[in-house]
Amino acid sequence: MAGNTLPPDALQPLTVDDTEVPTPTSRVYERMWSSWSYEFLAATLSLVSFSCLVTTLILFDDKPQREWSYHYVTRNAVIAAISTITRASLLGTVAVSLSQNKWTWFSTSPRHGRKLQELETFDNASRGAIGSLQLLGTVKHKHVASLGALVTVFALGLDTFSQNILGLRYDNVLHPGVLGVGAISRSEIYDASNSAPDGWVKGLNFDMKAAISKGPLGGNTPIPSPDCPTGNCTWPVVPGLAVCGGNVPGEAGRIYISHFSIINSAFAEITPEDSLTATECALWFCLRAYNTSIRSGVEHETVESEWDVATPFYPLQYDWFDTRGRRNFTNIPSMSSITDDMVFGATHAVVHMMNVTVSGQITGNVTWGLHGGIFQYGSDNTQSLWNARKDLDSWTKNLALAMTNVIRTNGTNLTKSGSRYAGSATSTEAFIKVRWPWMVYLAAMLLLGLIHFMATVWQVAKGTTFSWKGTPIIPLLLTVESEEGGIECISSDGQLMEEVRDRRVMLRIENGKGWHFSNAF
């Protein structure tokens, strides 16, 4: 046992002879920069990274999503990386500042002092949010450490909030250079006929005849949908010649195609007390302004305005077959996008032929009582007209629509509209939208963290305590005393570390001395 026992003089007490206390006010700035250089670099890094984050968001804002060409890295990943650098550098600075705050907390203690266990509370606060919550319950608002504790707690949400900074908005983008946008079907003059030999009219073209025959039965000639290469196109309001109709009495100032009446009741339905009634219907030429658009590949068309006031025909005043150079419609509203050089109408011959064809289709009888009391119809159109006697307005409008569609696809435009009615292609694109309110959270955390750091540094620079920060040996050696000589005080920055950095010590227990550190040789 004696061979394993060190001689008494083998253990030398740890002594510090330098007891010079510098004047704090003479070394304020030196103490600030020399003792906190790494923390200042971290604080600067947090400011620089935050500035980079703001700059990056400005560059991202309102930019098309498709412009991002980095397939393996998303914009959100870039924002998350920069915000992580900001958060890490800020929290590193705050953690060191909280470690230093415990010394100012005890050095400025009231007369009754502080509880020694509060050292542990400060150390826990520098390590995470749970310890910071405990520290807030200890210091409340009475110490600058409360700012650092708040930053540590609320920094938990920075990663989540940074993911909400970037959003998307969807806009329709005009593509003026896109070719292949079709034109809206429209006509100014309708003069289509089979032939007119020897100056006499032979009949309408077959498209119009088919429309008059099938229109009341629901067979409308379809309007070709204009080409739209992007699936989203718009056109200006386009005027065109059309056919209007309804169960209205005849009025002057219209170009009538047909004017007819229908008896509303069958003879068998009439009692001696009743009287026969008839409904007056008409078809006439009119102008319509069409608003057409294609959205997501689906065509939408509405009639913006309608006009039917016209100069009546006087056959003896101009050619039977000519309407060119004469405006048949008067006082056309400007909202129809019509210019003064446009002429709308139909030749007198075509109007006459349409009247003859319509009359032939709708004229007929409906009889009842023959063959066992079954209704007998002169034609399909007569049957449809009779069945629609309760709603003749809709029946007439269906016929007018069928005739209008033929006019729009088979008519003539005398004026060169050029680009006046040209369509524009658009597409729905996603754009980056920065949600700037989320940045307020990060900016507030950065501001509070930097205020906490600068206040802590200023307290040290003014000489309240030394820059001991979170050095673990300080609590062990602050009160070590020895009769032979030991560390009685810490009197200068760096003095303790210079004395003990390279020393080898042993933790021993001796009678009357308890646990203490001794030099090992």
DSSP per residue, 406-447: HHHHH-B--S--TTTT--EEEEEEEEEEE-THHHHHHHHHHH
According to the per-residue pLDDT averaged within each range, which of 241-245, 311-315, 456-460 is highest? 241-245
pLDDT in tens, 392-446: 778 888 888 889 998 988 887 777 666 778 888 888 889 999 999 999 999 999 9
DSSP β-ladder status, 232-234 and 278-295: antiparallel
Three-class SS of residue 314? coil
Residue 294: is its pLDDT beyond 60? Answer: yes
In this structure, are residues 465 and 100 in contact, taking their beta carbons and an 8 Å threshold? yes
* pLDDT at position 389: 67
CA dihedral 446, 449, 452, 458 (to 10 degrees): -70
**What DSSP assignment string belongs to 491-512?**
-STTHHHHHHTT--EEEEEETT
DSSP state of 7: P
SS3 call for 362:
helix
pLDDT at 517: 47
Three-state DSSP at 513 gives coil
pLDDT at residue number 483: 38
Contact criterion met (CB below 8 Å) for 330 and 310: yes
Q: Measured between alpha carbons, how far is 473 from 46 in angstroms, rounded to an integer? A: 29
Lowest mean per-residue pLDDT among 46-60, 129-143, 160-174, 211-225: 211-225
- The pLDDT assigned to 10 comes to 43
d(Cα 53, Cα 165) in Å, to the nearest integer? 11
Give residue 32's pLDDT band: very low, low, confident or very high (50, 70, 90): low
For 377-399, the DSSP string reads ESSHHHHHHHHTGGGHHHHHHHH
Judge contact between 184 and 292, C-beta under 8 A. yes
How do beta strands 232-234 and 238-246 pair?
Answer: unpaired
Residue range 149-156: mean pLDDT, rounded: 92
**pLDDT the model gives residue 48:** 97
Query: Which range has highest mean pLDDT (129-143, 322-336, 361-375, 452-466)?
Result: 129-143
- Residue 106 is classified by DSSP as H
Rounded percentage of the chain residues whose pLDDT exceeds 70:
65
Lowest mean pLDDT among 31-45, 57-71, 505-519: 505-519
Range among 59-63, 180-184, 199-203, 464-468 with highest mean pLDDT value: 59-63
Token look-up 């253990």 returns: 11
Domain edges within the chain: 6-20+469-521, 37-165+435-466, 175-359+396-430
**Hey, is 95 helix, strand or coil?**
helix
- Quick one: pLDDT at residue 184? 87
- In tens, the pLDDT along 340-398 reads 777 788 777 788 888 888 887 777 676 665 555 566 666 776 777 777 667 777 888 88
SS3 assignment, position 242:
strand
Alpha-carbon span 206 to 259, nearest angstrom: 22
Question: What's the mean per-residue pLDDT of the chain?
Answer: 75
345: left (phi over 0), alpha (psi -120 to 50) or beta: left
